[in-house]
Amino acid sequence: MQNIYDNVLIVGGGLIGSSIARACREFGAAKRVTIADTNADVRTALNGLNICDKVTDTANPSDADLVILAVPPGNISDIAAYVLPHMKKGATLTDVGSVKADVVEKITAILPKDINFIGGHPIAGTEQSGPEAGFAALFTDRWCILTTSDEDALAAQKLKQFWQAIGSRVTFMDAKHHDLVLATTSHLPHLIAYALVGTATDMETVTRGEVIKYSAGGFRDFTRIAASDPVMWRDVFLQNKDAVLDVLGRYIEDLTALKKAVRWGDGETLLKEFTKTRDIRTRIIDAGQDSAKPNFGRDISGDEEE
Amino acid sequence: MQNIYDNVLIVGGGLIGSSIARACREFGAAKRVTIADTNADVRTALNGLNICDKVTDTANPSDADLVILAVPPGNISDIAAYVLPHMKKGATLTDVGSVKADVVEKITAILPKDINFIGGHPIAGTEQSGPEAGFAALFTDRWCILTTSDEDALAAQKLKQFWQAIGSRVTFMDAKHHDLVLATTSHLPHLIAYALVGTATDMETVTRGEVIKYSAGGFRDFTRIAASDPVMWRDVFLQNKDAVLDVLGRYIEDLTALKKAVRWGDGETLLKEFTKTRDIRTRIIDAGQDSAKPNFGRDISGDEEE
């Protein structure tokens, strides 16, 4: 039991918030964890799950040493404005949002000088949402990115220890750079998957039943990503507009080049492009960020391998 | 032991060919299986694996009741032209290629009248290639599509029984329609994934190391698909040009609409589009075509869940 903080208040009891609570208990990272959620169904679920010390409807942060905002990106700065005046001196506020520059700018503008704010983003999650979808190992060996101008400050180091205590690897990064990196590794992939699933299910020449039956050829992978929480993802694209438009523009250029190669029957270009993408998979597996097993080792209806 | 055929000759001992051989033995679908492969390394590997009765360099089909061409799409019709004159009367030729109309047209044009040809495509595979990557359960509960003008013919029904014996569900489909369905559920997803991995690894503002470290946010899923066999996929896009350009054109329209919504901060459109894609995932899982577990139930470095 390391108890990095005495009292932790998590605002928002969904997939991420409830997983942090579970991990705090599993790894002994906090003496006492409270979850605040305005949704009565979520509170009922949380009480049934018994994963924290207290469940409440209003976020009262007066006792909290750490307040974690685990709400959709679009609500983070509003809720920060609500809790900051009631936080105790020396306490730390953080969040788990997938876009950082917008939130950091807004919260920094209203931050009392005796409260610490450090933006946070655990690169972890699943396509599922809600308190029942969470689990204690969600952050194990995943990266958590913290954004602060002073990573040597005591508050930043303590928050780093907290994330490490619940299983994460921690790195510090500039908020703007974070948003560009994540636009590439997360936001663009989601936009692409949402668009593809939309295209495939709106064809007048191929039925939805056919798309479902023959999805094992590749399509099914995209439907997992396109099943992610729509509200959270809407907020991500509203907040990270510039970086997303930048990488999306590059992507459309690259896709158009492949389209041209298909149209002209340019097998040489296709082979070259398809060959150079193979190596990155090996490096992601070597870095411990994905399974080495074929098809992610997915297990369907009791079969051993696929 | 059902022994649908006495002698089966599989030309090509890669992922699919070697998996068919394994499944024949596992489920007793053939008395005797020979694999022919022109690559000496593949033959050495096959001999070491001991998954068939004979490994040979030249495809001699004179004894075979069923010849299965499990080679890249671009080689199928050439090899068909080579084996057809030597096949015995009443025997059946089939293939496993991902594009059907091109192959069916070319082979039909040269088919002797006492040989049956039925195009085939098992919707199964992994991102790995080669004889070592195969496994007997690869086709279990996956669909295999057969293309023939007469599905009631004895030869077609026998081939259907063979695929069912090795675990597949079987359906008959017109070759042109097959190519459009698969352009949607398989070929377009692969092109999109190859393009994205190319874009992400060619950014001058985000390092390749960062792309790898933070890939758990969505990108890693695309790298699995983009690690698929480059030669096979080059051939697919050369052979299925028209259908791929059709669905790719629609996809670029849909992506451009999402891009516009991002640029204009149109949260309402984004939320609507992101919400309607959720349901298809549930239907794919209900149809037994994917795992219900979050993140495909992927298992990384010994962790329980993710």
- What is the pLDDT, as a whole number, of residue A306? 36
pLDDT digits (tens, 9 = 90+) for A42-81: 999 999 999 999 999 998 999 999 999 999 999 999 999 9
Positive or negative torsion for Cα B168, B169, B175, B178: negative
pLDDT tier at B9, thresholds 50, 70, 90 = very high
Read off the pLDDT of each residue in A159-173 and give the average, rounded to a whole number: 98
pLDDT of residue B304 exceeding 70: no
**Quick check: A133 and B294 CB within 8 A?**
yes
CA Rg value for chain A: 21
**Quick check: A278 and B230 CB within 8 A?**
yes
Q: For residues B34 and A147, what is the distance between their CA atoms, to the nearest angstrom?
A: 61
Query: How is chain B split into domains, by residue range?
Result: 5-173, 177-292
**Quick check: B218 and A190 CB within 8 A?**
yes
pLDDT digits (tens, 9 = 90+) for B174-210: 999 999 999 999 999 999 999 999 999 999 899 999 9
Neighbours of B266 (CB within 10 A): 17
Domain B5-173 belongs to what topology? Answer: Rossmann fold (3.40.50)
Residue A75's contacts (CB-CB under 8 Å, 6 or more residues apart) are A235
- CA-nearest residue to B291 within chain A is A300
Domain B177-292, classified CATH 1.10.3660.10, yes or no:
yes
Read off the pLDDT of each residue in B297-305 and give the average, rounded to a whole number: 60
pLDDT digits (tens, 9 = 90+) for A183-210: 999 999 999 999 999 999 999 899 999 9
Q: For residues B31 and B184, what is the distance between their CA atoms, to the nearest angstrom?
A: 37
pLDDT digits (tens, 9 = 90+) for B69-127: 999 999 999 999 999 999 999 999 999 999 999 999 999 999 999 999 999 999 999 99
Q: For residues B115 and B106, what is the distance between their CA atoms, to the nearest angstrom?
A: 15
Q: What proportion of chain A, given as a percentage, has pLDDT over 90?
A: 93
Instruction: For residue A187, give the amino acid letter.
Output: H
Residue from the list B140, B201, B214 with its beta carbon closest to the beta carbon of A303 = B140
pLDDT of residue A299 exceeding 50: yes
Taking contacts as CB-CB distances below 8 angstroms, the residues of chain A near B230 are 271, 274-275, 278
pLDDT of residue A23 exceeding 70: yes
Chain B nearest C-alpha distance from A217 (Å): 5
pLDDT of residue A304 exceeding 70: no
- CA-nearest residue to A275 within chain B is B230
SS (H, E, C) chain B: CCCCEEEEEEECCCHHHHHHHHHHHHHCCEEEEEEECCCHHHHHHHHHHCCCCEEECCCCCCCCCEEEECCCHHHHHHHHHHHHHHCCCCCEEEECCCCCHHHHHHHHHHCCCCCEEEEEEECCCCCCCCHHHCCHHHHCCCEEEEECCCCCCHHHHHHHHHHHHCCCEEEECCHHHHHHHHHHHHHHHHHHHHHHHHHHHCCCCCCHHHHHHCHHHCHHHHHHHCCCCHHHHHHHHHHCHHHHHHHHHHHHHHHHHHHHHHHCCCHHHHHHHHHHCHHHHHHHHHCCCCCCCHHHHCCCCCCCCC
Average predicted confidence (pLDDT) for chain B: 95
pLDDT digits (tens, 9 = 90+) for B26-40: 999 999 999 999 999
pLDDT digits (tens, 9 = 90+) for B136-185: 999 999 999 999 989 999 999 999 999 999 999 999 999 999 999 999 99
Query: What is A177-291's CATH superfamily?
Result: 6-phosphogluconate dehydrogenase C-terminal like domain (1.10.3660.10)
- CA-nearest residue to B200 within chain A is A184
Domain B5-173 and domain B177-292, same fold? Reply is no
Q: How far apart are the first and last CA of chain B?
A: 40
pLDDT tier at B260, thresholds 50, 70, 90 = very high
- What is the pLDDT, as a whole number, of residue B1? 59
- What is the pLDDT, as a whole number, of residue B301? 54
In A37-149, at which residue ranges do the beta strands (DSSP E only) sit? 54-56, 66-69, 92-95, 116-122, 143-147
Residue B286's contacts (CB-CB under 8 Å, 6 or more residues apart) are none
Residue from the list B126, B189, B190 with its beta carbon closest to the beta carbon of A294 = B126
